[in-house]
Structure 1
């Protein structure tokens, strides 16, 4: 989908790791900016759509008290309206373009559709052995956490590997905290509290905003988030208070995350473009890719994200994700929706390529002008196979239409996954793709009629020629019988004459004539 990534076309001459060792020079993939061909676009890439993750329903939102001298028009241009009607101010990252975010150093969320599938067991073994990581399996997804900075790989076929996590005595490791977070489930502040309202929460028919933090925090149980889900750093700021400074990330918690999906999509969190390409090269060298897609046909979805513990709730705006905590379960939910959107974009591009090919476009033109198709049987069968494969991938094999098993077993993540799917407009895009497949069905019907008519015409001509051959054979047989009959009659006459008896008188007369002859 996204083609804004500016990836280097050549690998640097040498890469120097912390130990001072250099890496040999190897070939480099081409930049993704050179990928050509028509690509389908979702409207949320350009319309600056906002989706709260998720937003609570409101009856009548409270109006923000504007500071003295500030007009409502200025506040409108400084922010946006949420689904609940509450006005929020855009952050710096949300106001930037993707190019500006890249210059500002915002972390990336990038999804690549590079193959029709991965060999998940071999992939997990390879990552554990060569990248020094511990993959975690979530049904059809493989979650991997890399400690930064990334180091050079162990062997010539491995570009990178994870750093060794530092250990602080008396503090649990990140893996232990991940396990605890998975046992406790996702408990971030977007998740609605029990539906209990105090008299102070309703004023003159107005409900407080959809933020579950500012208005429902006193009603929540006094429990602390696990260390893996992030640190709340006290109560949330209220109106009029200055936002507290962002807590500095602990050095041992500087991580990047990669989520591999069985259907051939990889989602990166917090890696640079060069590092993402190195990981993809490692996958290709390891032989864990099933039926890879040509690089020109890769689908790439590029977004950015930031973490802000002071926001009311996580949200997406202008392809910019703002998370409240560094929860790996939250990122896993986002990755599922983003991967499905990228896979759907691959199918959209395939549909456009098939339906806009010269061979396909010639079908209605030939029917309109000649009333028949002048299409070779081989070309017709190839086009039929491509259309059938597209229909099968979307409706039977694809994971785009299915809710992953993770969200049936982990209900707290379902609303977040649904909200990201809504932002990516997956449901609407699937309907549009189905309409294109209906057009493909019309092409299939025309091709089938053409093949059937061609087959019947061929069979008819075969029967005609067989009849002609049979007539010729019969005529030849009649002529042969006449010739044989005539030849046989002459031979019988000669034989009859040769075998006739001669009398004595006839013989003597014959001898006399012969002797009397001079």
Structure 2
């Protein structure tokens, strides 16, 4: 490794152009957050908060605090649909996908851009750090008949019926509505887009991105969702079930907040894991030799990299707190907390902080090594000066002796 290369992080940190040469990235990126619910079946009920099936009305029943929401972990009848849904259904049900593509977005500029795209049926609304809008690439079906007055289902929803081999019917309501939730801290959550439409939307984002992530560092999280007439709204096995009549955009906004935080944490998890992996030989080297075989410049570069990592994570720590929207509309808080629980955000943040402590200890070790190296240098300078002084004194003595002998 040359003196100009970074000894630690080989990727741009949070998309920031690296001040030194960047070696090739290490393998494929992790697809989504490091959570157990991604690889094992888990059920989390989403509290019903709205009277008469209105998703955006005031809360009058159900759970009244985040603590109450956390008490609900299972419902015997609530697993039925989720257990019967599998990989074959993901191609049919609408997608919910989150992408972390940058450190942040120019959210106001993006809002103006979306508002100008009238052909996409847009009507953007800003909720603090989140921008919401319908965003459809599909041309409206001019031949479609208007829904009958007695049919309360919106025109963009339709019912799917699947009959299992045992004769059991599974009825699900799916939506063709495409909605986008853009979070200022660099995450976009797309509801109801096809995979091709998601990529098309992502190609429109770069002009609004700050500190864009490299392609292999983009974090992705994928769900599917549907509307159910039976049981309570829930998340099970990465299928989001919204109760019919309560699937308004504010409920989706609450869930999207948790998903966006989760996928942002996954970026921090990858950065910390990668840093620990590439620095794990340093403590072993100190244990075997008593010092780090690194130049002062490399040690300073390593310290700088570790500081950048800790600063970026700490500066973004506010995104892991409850959004301000939950204070303004407390009826959304239980749904947000239940989604956050399913995504295991609290446990992952705790583990992330423990790993940051390892980084902090390594940083302290390198600083001490740098201090010891400086002390050794000063001791060497003092020894050299003393040796020079002794040599000069010896020369003076020899010169005086020769001068006296000549007399």
Match status 1:146 vs 2:131:
no
Query: CA 1:37–1:313 in 2, change beyond 3 Å: closer, same or farther?
Result: closer
Matching residue of 2:6: none
Q: Matched residues in 1 for 2:227 and 2:195: separation?
A: 20
Secondary structure of the structure 2 residue equivalent to 1:311: coil
Q: Matched residues in 1 for 2:196 and 2:232: separation?
A: 32
Query: CA 1:38–1:268 in 2, change beyond 3 Å: closer, same or farther?
Result: closer
Q: Which moved more, 1:461-470 or 1:346-355?
A: 461-470
1:226-375 residue pairs with structure 2 within 5 A?
254-284=176-206, 287-308=207-228, 310-324=229-243, 325-357=246-278, 360-375=279-294
* 8 Å CA contact 2:93, 2:225 repeated in 1: yes
TM-fit CA distance, 1:127: 2.5
TM-score, normalized by length of structure 1? 0.58
TM-fit CA distance, 1:306: 0.7
Deviations 1:53-76 (A, max 9, x none): 02868xxxxxxxxxxxxxxxxxxx
* 8 Å CA contact 1:147, 1:165 repeated in 2: no
Match status 1:52 vs 2:45:
yes
Secondary structure of the structure 2 residue equivalent to 1:398: helix
Q: Matched residues in 2 for 1:302 and 1:247: separation?
A: 19
Q: Matched residues in 1 for 2:316 and 2:192: separation?
A: 30
Q: Matched residues in 1 for 2:226 and 2:124: separation?
A: 24
* 8 Å CA contact 1:50, 1:318 repeated in 2: yes
Q: Which runs of 5+ in 2 are unaligned?
A: 1-26, 49-61, 64-71, 147-151, 158-167
Matching residue of 1:12: none
Deviations 1:436-486 (A, max 9, x none): 112222212211111110111112222333344455566677888999x89
Match status 1:101 vs 2:89:
yes
Q: Matched residues in 2 for 1:443 and 1:149: separation?
A: 53
Higher RCO by CA contacts (8 Å cutoff, separation 6 or greater): 2
1:92-491 residue pairs with structure 2 within 5 A?
94-97=83-86, 99-103=87-91, 105-129=92-116, 132=119, 133-149=122-138, 254-284=176-206, 287-308=207-228, 310-324=229-243, 325-357=246-278, 360-471=279-390
TM-fit CA distance, 1:278: 1.6
Q: Matched residues in 2 for 1:164 and 1:125: separation?
A: 27
Q: Matched residues in 1 for 2:101 and 2:267: separation?
A: 10
Secondary structure of the structure 2 residue equivalent to 1:143: strand
* 8 Å CA contact 2:45, 2:235 repeated in 1: yes
Q: Matched residues in 1 for 2:274 and 2:280: separation?
A: 11
* 8 Å CA contact 1:147, 1:164 repeated in 2: no
* 8 Å CA contact 2:47, 2:334 repeated in 1: yes
TM-fit CA distance, 1:261: 0.8
Secondary structure of the structure 1 residue equivalent to 2:78: strand
* 8 Å CA contact 1:258, 1:269 repeated in 2: yes
Secondary structure of the structure 1 residue equivalent to 2:204: helix
Q: Matched residues in 2 for 1:85 and 1:127: separation?
A: 41
Secondary structure of the structure 2 residue equivalent to 1:134: coil
* 8 Å CA contact 2:235, 2:241 repeated in 1: yes
TM-fit CA distance, 1:344: 0.7
Matching residue of 2:21: none
Q: Matched residues in 1 for 2:202 and 2:31: separation?
A: 24
Q: Matched residues in 1 for 2:348 and 2:354: separation?
A: 10
TM-fit CA distance, 1:130: 5.0
Q: Matched residues in 2 for 1:478 and 1:130: separation?
A: 93
1:17-32 residue pairs with structure 2 within 5 A?
none
* 8 Å CA contact 1:391, 1:437 repeated in 2: yes
Matching residue of 2:11: none
Q: Matched residues in 2 for 1:270 and 1:442: separation?
A: 45
Secondary structure of the structure 1 residue equivalent to 2:134: strand
| One of 57, 69, 77 as aligned partner of 1:87 | 77
* 8 Å CA contact 1:348, 1:433 repeated in 2: yes
Deviations 1:346-374 (A, max 9, x none): 111111100011xx111221122122222
Query: CA 1:164–1:263 in 2, change beyond 3 Å: closer, same or farther?
Result: farther
Q: Matched residues in 2 for 1:283 and 1:403: separation?
A: 26
Q: Matched residues in 2 for 1:247 and 1:42: separation?
A: 28
Q: Say how many residue pairs are matched.
A: 340
Between structure 1 and structure 2, the one with the greater Rg is 1
TM-fit CA distance, 1:382: 2.8
Q: Matched residues in 2 for 1:39 and 1:50: separation?
A: 19
Secondary structure of the structure 1 residue equivalent to 2:104: strand
Query: CA 1:389–1:273 in 2, change beyond 3 Å: closer, same or farther?
Result: same
TM-fit CA distance, 1:393: 3.1
Q: Matched residues in 2 for 1:94 and 1:329: separation?
A: 27
Q: Matched residues in 2 for 1:302 and 1:37: separation?
A: 13
